[in-house]
Structure 1
């Protein structure tokens, strides 16, 4: 089982079933050790105290599946920023969860939405807010009103390298309008080809590293 990529986001937990987690990133790898950013709590940004304890590290593989391994925190070192030095797991020590969770990353790609209404077909180009292998969210102008359960066609181009995507989506939720009249709509991909989903997942990894 492969390790996460340098710069990839990690989740660190005190126990395998502990609900709260701390966010970190893989900074560097060695033959026997890994070096990760000091984990910070996801909500209040407080640092996790290592104290030589065992912790569980989680990350997403390129197939979207969740992976985790148990490791020991050895010490705090400086590279030159302070990082944790932890024991590098053996490939067989990395467990793959059956369920798939997709990494969601901020993005600013343009998305052409097509929705079929009783009054006709509406086409609007909007700006995406974030995307994952499971769906995306976009900013809706006043001229477009969507409701949960509606079906929308989305077309966009992924960069690095350029790859066109045409996906059917179901609207999951629509937020309130902000002061600029924009509403955030979350949509789920439906019947997406696995090859297309893999391209989107590859983009989220590339985008994640770019936003380090």
Structure 2
């Protein structure tokens, strides 16, 4: 069995956002409201942050999926900025450059012919223009075919950013439902019949013993 993934530093902010959301759910907010000083809430939050990796293991599978999608998106972004963009750029520029050059050579050669220029230059320019013309036409057809072939596939797949965001939201929801809320409820209310009282010291989440309340003595640390 694969070892659970440790929470990445860049995902700590998401973990804290899920923790904040969990502590504001109705049942936890009501239980924490019994402690007017807020010591129990502070302790519970600090404990959850310290146990972040253990809590996150409950949502390990969606977290692995999120990491995989995020890595793939980053690789794709790097490839778009890298040498892989050279060939598509050449495919677009080749018909433009060759077509423009062919037109310019044919126009210049024709003008020289009309001007009665002597020598082989006018004929050479016209011949070069007619040589470049089919190159421009052929490369244009190839580029058009490539665009028509790839366009349906690009429309069929959601953008990488949308995939990453969807995987992130799935992980956060699983972290909340399967990890954060059970952890907080378990440490806040170890027994269903007990309730947090304001005299609970900050280093414990258990209520004061009955004898301590009767004797009106402070809870021991």
Q: What is the TM-score of this pair, normalised by structure 1? A: 0.22
Give 1 or 2: higher strand fraction: 1
Q: What is the TM-score of this pair, normalised by structure 2? A: 0.22
Give 1 or 2: higher helix fraction: 2
Structure having greater relative contact order (Cα 8 Å, sep ≥ 6): 2
